[in-house]
Structure 1
Amino acid sequence: MKKLLMSFLSCSLLAATANAQESSSTAPATHTYEMTQTYDLAVPKGSKGETKLWIPLPFNNEYQQVKSIRYEGNYNRAYITENNTYGAKTLFADWDEKAQQRDLKLTLVIQTKDREPMRQKALENYTPPEKIIYSVDVVEYLKPTQHIKTDGIVKEYADKIVGQETNPLQKARLIHQWIVNNMERDNSVLGCGDGDVEKILTSGVLKGKCTDMNSVFVALARAAGIPAREVFGIRLGAAPKMSRYSKTAFGSADENRIAKISGAQHCRAEFYLAGFGWVPVDPADVAKMRLTEKKAVEDADVQAVSDYLFGNWEMNWVGFNHARDFELYPLPQLAPINNFGYPYAEIGGDPLNFFEPKEFKYDYSAKEL
């Protein structure tokens, strides 16, 4: 049995959002979780050859920190890499064709802090600089990708939604509210959705899941000149603040604070304000709450959730990466992949169905410590 233990210690400076939060009289709530992932990869009928597995790992920043990571299994090799265009942290493992089992267990301890710049009034008097110059890493999130188009029908929608507004914060608010008012969650969509914004807007069927709706936000924001990106991640347990509006829509756990999270993947979004930094947003969860609680968009609770989720995230969730339409490393047979919110595996070049944990054979759980 091979084992590896690592500790991640953070010494990075807090971003402007965190500074604003710390100055508030009400400090953001913190949470600590132990997340366990177990894999016993199943070989589909007709597949044979080397097995390769890519697992998304959380990033470290001012609102989330991986305190420790440990993995063990009967793999040939296993290592952590960020060798891709988005720097998406990945645990890669492989097994040879004759392996009788393909086992891996991953355990992470993660600390998060509620991300609430709007609630902390850090953006109350926001005014953009007279001349905005974005850094090279931010400019990347103005560019289109295969699934995030910024011209054609996407640009037409963006122009109509923001109208004559010039303040990027207010433009982002208009886009968020348009999605809340016009899009609905569709539980029949596979996984989190494929986030093909042009297809969604062209079809006129304004429905989907989190990747669909939050990708619409990202594409419309970019088309309106605002850097924006998805954040792919997973819920880790109950949502103490948001549970007043829904006991299940935003995450849940049992009486021992243990959550079964094999199907808890969730895509969020954020946009960038010059002179401030990245701002959290999540119109998709407004739609999820509406469907779960069977409420109309005009309902007071829906509007309260919408207000909170523009500029705030309760952090019973952890983010993995911002990657869209990119190539994993080592390069799999299927490339590029749409996004990296789920584990990805191939056996002899044949991809496993990561949307079905029992078919892929993975099991995730988390416990709040």
Structure 2
Amino acid sequence: MKKLLLTTALLSSAFFAQAQSVPNPNTTTHTYEMTQTYQVNVPQGSKGETNLWVPLPFNSDYQNVLSIEFEGNFKQAYITENNQYGAKTLYANWDEKAEKRDLTVKLLVQTQDREPMVQGLLKDYQAPEKIEYSVDVQQYLKPTQHIKIDGVVKAFADKIVGQETNPLKQAKLIHDWIVNNMERDNSVLGCGDGDVEKMLTTGVLKGKCTDINSVFVALARATGIPAREIFGIRLGQAVKMGEYSKSAFGGAKDKVANENGGQHCRAEFYLAGFGWVPVDSADVAKYRLTEKKAVDDKNTQAVANYLFGNWEANWIGFNHARDFNLYPTPELAPINNFGYPYAEVGGDPLNSYDAKAFGYEFISKEL
């Protein structure tokens, strides 16, 4: 049995070096305790070691990781950021002959709403005459395997933004286009694979959060606006968005919630002279499907307006990683994204999207 506790003072992350957004000093903070219990199931007949990679939350101006604690019967376990995105990861492994494969992870995280649009901080935004992005921002202008920025993606982006040159207004045009043209498809596995070129080429403009918000990211990058997905998980009940929806944006009973299916991908884009701006086009589609609302419904429009430039804090972010290699490198590499735990037994991957078959349970509690 091993145990480790990391407090905020000990946590280091490449995220601190990245440009930050502006938090809302008047927003009430929320503190969540999240317990992840793993009893990794080894498929019958499988041989070899069991390796597990667990995404952990980053620190930022809107998210403060107060502690990370873990224990289990693993052979070895450690926290690493050794990957191209600096995605904080807990890696654990077990011998082939281990009688069981248990791990418990406890996270204590304080969150704060991000509302630069509500605050009016972007009301008169104008881009600087000369835009120069730092190295850590430049990487979010580049394509990846699933985030193409040329060909059909560039053609769509050019048509959507037209003659508009203000980056904030360009991003709003992209958000509005997605709201008006994309739909949520609950039959999609997990959060979707976010293959933007495929969606735009086939014209099947449906999916889940990774699919829809990856379209925003790709179209923004194709327009010259740095943008990125953020993979994370909902914790508890939405408050502000609950004004419009009873069920679309997470739920909790007595501030306790089972989050096995709570993984959610958000997005953000970068404005020179300001910083990162939150957006969540995908949750507009989720609202419409859950509440059976039309695009032009006044509540749909209210949700769409709020989710451009604002996020509610019933969610924590893990990383911005797409099409990359975990460390140590698994047999399946690169992986598409890292919002779910990932495990391999003898080099064969488990189904991360099936909590029961995989052997995990996530419980959050708002303190």
* TM-score category, normalised to shorter length: over 0.9
The equivalent residue for 1:18 is 22
8 Å CA contact retained: 2:20, 2:61: no
CA distance in 2, matches of 1:74, 1:194: 33
The equivalent residue for 2:108 is 109
- CA deviations on 1:219-245 (whole Å, 9 max, x unpaired) are 000000000000000000001111111
Q: Mapping of 1:280-299 within 5 angstroms?
A: 280-299=278-297
8 Å CA contact retained: 1:14, 1:62: no
- Local SS of the residue matching 1:177: helix
8 Å CA contact retained: 2:32, 2:109: yes
8 Å CA contact retained: 2:20, 2:60: no
**By how many angstroms is 1:156 displaced?**
0.4
CA distance in 2, matches of 1:58, 1:68: 10
CA distance in 2, matches of 1:320, 1:46: 33
**By how many angstroms is 1:13 displaced?**
10
**By how many angstroms is 1:247 displaced?**
1.3
The change in CA–CA distance for 1:88 and 1:13 in structure 2 (over 3 A counts) is closer
Instruction: Give the residue type in structure 1 aligned to 2:337.
Output: N
Q: Mapping of 1:120-139 within 5 angstroms?
A: 120-139=119-138
CA distance in 1, matches of 2:212, 2:218: 10
The equivalent residue for 2:47 is 48
**By how many angstroms is 1:15 displaced?**
6.6
The equivalent residue for 1:217 is 216
Q: Which residue of 328, 351, 367 corresponds with 1:353?
A: 351
8 Å CA contact retained: 2:18, 2:137: no
- Local SS of the residue matching 2:22: helix
8 Å CA contact retained: 1:344, 1:351: yes
Q: Mapping of 1:143-292 within 5 angstroms?
A: 143-254=142-253, 256-292=254-290
8 Å CA contact retained: 2:229, 2:268: yes
- Local SS of the residue matching 2:96: coil
**By how many angstroms is 1:317 displaced?**
0.1
The change in CA–CA distance for 1:77 and 1:13 in structure 2 (over 3 A counts) is closer
The change in CA–CA distance for 1:229 and 1:123 in structure 2 (over 3 A counts) is same
**By how many angstroms is 1:46 displaced?**
2.8
Q: Mapping of 1:34-113 within 5 angstroms?
A: 34-113=33-112
- CA deviations on 1:100-126 (whole Å, 9 max, x unpaired) are 100000001100000000001110111
- Local SS of the residue matching 2:83: coil
8 Å CA contact retained: 1:148, 1:215: yes
Q: Does residue 7 in structure 1 map to residue 11 in structure 2?
A: no
**By how many angstroms is 1:17 displaced?**
3.7
CA distance in 2, matches of 1:335, 1:113: 34
Instruction: Give the residue type in structure 2 aligned to 1:113.
Output: Q
- Local SS of the residue matching 2:99: coil
**By how many angstroms is 1:269 displaced?**
0.3
Q: Which TM-score applies when normalising by structure 2?
A: 0.97
The equivalent residue for 1:367 is 365
**By how many angstroms is 1:159 displaced?**
0.2
**By how many angstroms is 1:18 displaced?**
2.6
The equivalent residue for 2:29 is 30
CA distance in 2, matches of 1:137, 1:16: 11
Instruction: Give the residue type in structure 1 aligned to 2:101.
Output: R
- Local SS of the residue matching 1:92: strand
**By how many angstroms is 1:303 displaced?**
0.2
The equivalent residue for 2:301 is 303
- CA deviations on 1:181-218 (whole Å, 9 max, x unpaired) are 00000000000000000000011010000000000000
- Local SS of the residue matching 1:35: strand
CA distance in 2, matches of 1:15, 1:237: 28
Q: Give 4+ residue runs of structure 1 displaced > 6 Å after superposition.
A: 10-16
- CA deviations on 1:158-200 (whole Å, 9 max, x unpaired) are 0000000000000000000000000000000000000000000
CA distance in 2, matches of 1:216, 1:317: 21
Instruction: Give the residue type in structure 1 aligned to 2:277.
Output: V
Q: Which TM-score applies when normalising by structure 1?
A: 0.96
CA distance in 2, matches of 1:319, 1:5: 20
Alpha carbon RMSD of aligned pairs, Å? 1.4
CA distance in 2, matches of 1:208, 1:308: 21
CA distance in 2, matches of 1:306, 1:278: 19
CA distance in 1, matches of 2:147, 2:18: 30
The change in CA–CA distance for 1:155 and 1:41 in structure 2 (over 3 A counts) is same
Structure 1 residue ranges without an equivalent (≥5): none
CA distance in 2, matches of 1:159, 1:47: 50
- Local SS of the residue matching 2:290: helix
Instruction: Give the residue type in structure 1 aligned to 2:202.
Output: S
CA distance in 2, matches of 1:50, 1:13: 36
8 Å CA contact retained: 1:72, 1:106: yes
CA distance in 1, matches of 2:71, 2:304: 42
